[in-house]
Structure 1
Amino acid sequence: MNKIGIELKWAALITAFTCGWAALESALGYHKDFSNIIVTAFIYYVILTFLWAIAFIDKKKSLGKNAVWEFKSAFKFGLFLTGLLTLLSPISQYIIYENISPDYFENIINYQLSKGKQTRESLELIHNMNFTIRQGVMNALSLGVIYSALYAWVFKTKKQVINTPPTQTNFNKKKK
C-alpha cells in the first residue's frame, strides 16, 4: 500500500477537484448558459496542470533528498496515476451528470439548438452519458500520457557521476 499511496492520494484529489469544479460551474450557472464555458474550461485545465505537477513533486519528495528519479521511473509513476484517473473517470462523470448537474445534457442540446447549427438528433448522439463517459476515459488516457511524459522529463534527476582526478603515471623513462 505504501508504494502506491501517493498515486491513490493524487488520483482521489484530482477526481475530487474535477467534481468540485463541475459543482462550481453548475452553481455559477455555466451548465445552463454555456457562453463562458471556454474560459472556465481553460481555467480548469490550468489548475489541473498544476495539480499534476504537485503530484510529481510530492512523489519526488517522498523518494528522499538525494534519490535518483530517472525518466523511466517518473514516467511509470505518471502512467500509473493516469491508469487510476482513467478508472475513476466514469465514476466522476456519473457524479457530475447525475447528481451535480442532472439537466446538463438537455441544457447543452437546447443551447446548441438555439445557435441553429445542428439538429436535435445529431446533438443527442454526442450529448449523452455513454458518449461522455467514453470521451472522459479517452481524455484521461491521452492527457495523462502527455502529462506523464512532460513531467517525467521535467522532474527527472540524473545519476550523479563522481569525478575523480586522473591518476598520474610516471612517463619519465630513461632513454639509452
Structure 2
Amino acid sequence: MNKIGIELKWAAIITAFSCLWAALENALGYHKDFSNIIGIAFVYYIILTFLWAIAFIDKKKSLGKNAIWEFKSAFKFGLFLTGLTTLLSPIAQYIIYETISPDYFNNIIEYQLSKGRQTRESLELIHNMNFTIRQGVMNALSLGVIYSALYAWVFKTKKNTVVVPVTNSKKKK
C-alpha cells in the first residue's frame, strides 16, 4: 500500500478538486449562464496544473533528499497517477452531473439553443452523461500523459557527474 500511497492520495485529491470546482461553478451560476464559462475553465486548468506539479513534488520528496529520480521513473509515476485519475473520472462525472448539477445538460442545451447555432437533436447527442463520461476519460488520459511528460522532465534529478582530468603518466625526457 505504501508503494502506491502517494499516487492514490493525489488521484483522490485531483478528483475531489474537480467535484468541488463543479460545485463552486454551480453555486456561482456558471451552470445556468454559460457566457463566461471559458474564463472559469481556464482558471480550473491552471489550478489543476499546479496540483499535478505538487503531486510530483510530493513524490520526489518521499524518495529522500539524495535519491536520484530519473525521467523514466518520474514518467512512470505520472502515468500511474494518470491511470488512477482516469479510473476515478467517471465517478467524478457522475457525482457532478447527477448530484451537484443535475440540470446541467438541460441548461446548456437551452443556452446553446438560444444562440441558434445547432438543433436540439444535435445538442442532445453531445450533452448527455455517456458522452460526457467518455470525454472526461479522454481528457484525463490526454492531459495526464502531457502532465506526466512535462513534470517528469522538470522534476527529474540531474545526475552529478564528476569529471576526472586525465594525466599523462609518461614522463618527458
AA of the residue aligned to 2:90: P
Cα drift, residue 50 of structure 1: 0.4
- Which runs of no fewer than 5 residues in structure 1 stay unpaired? none
- Equivalence for 1:160: 160
| Superposed displacement of residue 157, structure 1 | 1.1
TM-score where L is the length of structure 1: 0.95
The within-5 A match list for 1:3-152 is 3-152=3-152
Cα distance in 2 between the residues matched to 1:172 and 1:151: 53
Counterpart CA distance in 2 for 1:61 and 1:165 is: 34
One-letter amino acid of the counterpart of residue 105, structure 2: F
| Aligned partner letter, 2:40 | T
Q: Deviations over 1:11-45 (max 9, x none)?
A: 00000000000000000111000011001100000
**Higher alpha-carbon deviation: 158-167 or 3-12:** 158-167
Letter matched to residue 151 of structure 1: Y
Deviation at 1:167, TM superposition (A): 4.5
Write the letter of the residue equivalent to 2:65.
K
| Alignment partners' CA distance in 2, 1:29 and 1:172 | 85
Specify every segment of 5 or more residues in structure 2 that has no aligned partner in the other structure, as ranges.
none
In structure 2, how many angstroms separate the alpha carbons of the residues matched to 1:100 and 1:165? 66
Report how many aligned residue pairs link the two structures. Answer: 173
Quick one: percent identity of the two aligned structures?
A: 85
**Distance in 1 of aligned mates of 2:69 and 2:34:** 43
Deviation, structure 1 residue 127: 0.1
Query: How far apart are the structure 1 equivalents of 2:86 and 2:170?
Result: 64
The farther-off stretch of 132-141 and 156-165 is 156-165
Letter in 1 for 2:75: F
Q: SS of the counterpart of 2:86?
A: helix
SS in 1 for 2:35: helix
CA RMSD of aligned residues (A): 1.0
CA distance in 2, matches of 1:161, 1:115: 62
**Higher Cα Rg: structure 1 or 2?**
1
